[in-house]
Structures are given as structure tokens and as C-alpha cells.
């Protein structure tokens, strides 16, 4: 999953949104960050990791990767993550009553107001992210092309990311269908995690009722 999907799945809680955004920038054990971030942000980072684990092992996501694997190899996962943000942006009204522009504006404002606690790399890219409107730029193929170009420049390993949009276009209908099947399941999975966090005995009670 990429930025837009993670932020959407985080739900309305601002600290969960910050944590989900930080998930790509915070590595290793979270215990060492307990003094840096609030419990809500730590839980958001945990949620980010759980969503990634769910996504990486999901049959539909793996199917999407296979569609472009012969062209992109090990970078196919990165491409599908960003491609799914493209479809989320284009099918936003299916999943949210809030306008995409309002959602994105709220996210930018939230990140700016908490800029001092963000990891250094995120602090550095945040002004450019806002100025270039990265989160809404995923909606167009030209915006995806710019995203892949930025990634290609950052990576030291040889890659074919500059041709990623062409590979997406060649498999567009199939990838879109994959996303529309996968994302409701991701929403359901995330909601189940939220319920279990709020009500730790929920699963046990449910098991007892069915036994």
C-alpha cells in the first residue's frame, strides 16, 4: 500500500493517520520510539505494518504483481502499491463521502502542524509533497509518471520504473478490477483490527458464542 491508501485506512483519528504516514519512514523495533511518539502514533505505525503484511500475502495483490512481473521484476510490488493509490483516487466516491480534495487538504494540514515530530526525511520532502500535491497527483497517469521518475532517481539499483506507466496502461482493466476486488477486503480487515483494539475480548466472545 502507498501513502493515500494507508491514510484512508487509518480512519479519522489524526494520530493514527500520522502513524500510518510514518510507517514507511520508521524501521525496526517500535519500543525505541516509545519516548518520541504518543501511543496513538505508535498504534498507527503498527497498523501500517499490519496492513502491509495483509496486502503482501493477499492473493489478489499477488495477482496484480504477476501482471507486470515480466517487465518490472522485484519492483512490481512498488508499482502496484502506487497503482492502487491511482485507482483509489479515481474511485474515491465508492469508499468515502468526503471529497478527495478535502481529505488531502486535511492530511497536508495535519502533517504541517506536526512537522516537528516527523522523521527528518519526511520533514525534508513534505514541502515538495504539498507543493506538487502528491496525494492527488496519483489520480492521473501523468502524475504516476512523475512519481515513478522521482523513485527511479532515488534508487541506486538498476530499474525500469520510467516504463511503469506503460506497463500499467497495458494491464489497466485487469489491475483496476484487482483493486476493486481487493480494497473492500482491506477495509474489512482494517476495521476488524480496530474493533479488536477497542474491544480486546470481542474475538473470544465471538468464539464462545459459536462453540
Could you tell me the residue ranges of all domains in the chain? 3-210
Residues 81-114: tens digit of each pLDDT: 999 999 999 999 999 999 999 999 999 999 999 9
pLDDT digits (tens, 9 = 90+) for 117-174: 999 999 999 999 999 999 999 999 999 999 999 998 888 778 889 899 999 999 999 9
pTM of the model: 0.90
Label residue 211 by pLDDT band (50, 70, 90). Answer: very low
Task: Report how far residue 60's alpha carbon sits from residue 108's, in angstroms, rounded to the nearest whole number.
Answer: 31
Is the Cα torsion angle 202, 205, 210, 211 positive or negative in sign? Answer: positive
Amino acid at each position: 500500500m502507498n501513502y493515500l491508501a494507508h491514510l484512508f485506512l487509518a480512519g479519522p483519528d489524526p494520530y493514527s493517520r500520522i502513524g500510518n504516514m510514518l510507517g514507511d519512514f520508521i524501521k525496526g523495533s517500535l519500543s525505541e520510539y516509545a519516548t518520541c511518539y504518543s501511543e496513538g502514533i505508535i498504534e498507527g505505525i503498527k497498523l501500517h505494518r499490519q496492513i502491509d503484511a495483509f496486502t503482501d500475502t493477499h492473493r489478489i495483490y499477488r495477482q496484480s504483481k504477476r501482471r507486470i512481473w515480466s517487465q518490472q521484476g522485484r519492483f512490481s510490488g512498488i508499482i502496484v502499491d502506487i497503482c492502487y493509490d491511482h485507482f483509489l483516487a479515481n474511485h474515491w466516491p465508492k469508499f468515502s463521502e468526503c471529497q478527495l480534495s478535502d481529505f488531502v487538504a486535511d492530511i497536508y494540514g495535519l502533517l504541517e502542524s506536526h512537522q516537528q515530530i516527523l522523521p527528518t526525511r519526511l520533514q525534508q520532502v513534505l514541502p515538495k509533497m504539498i507543493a506538487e500535491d502528491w496525494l492527488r497527483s496519483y489520480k492521473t497517469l501523468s502524475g504516476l509518471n512523475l512519481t515513478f521518475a522521482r523513485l527511479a532517481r532515488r534508487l541506486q539499483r538498476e530499474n525500469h520504473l520510467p516504463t511503469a506507466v506503460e506497463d500499467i496502461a497495458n494491464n489497466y482493466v485487469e489491475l483496476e478490477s484487482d483493486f476493486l476486488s481487493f480494497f473492500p477486503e482491506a477495509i474489512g480487515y482494517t476495521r476488524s483490527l480496530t474493533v479488536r483494539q477497542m474491544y480486546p475480548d470481542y474475538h473470544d466472545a465471538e468464539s464462545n458464542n459459536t462453540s
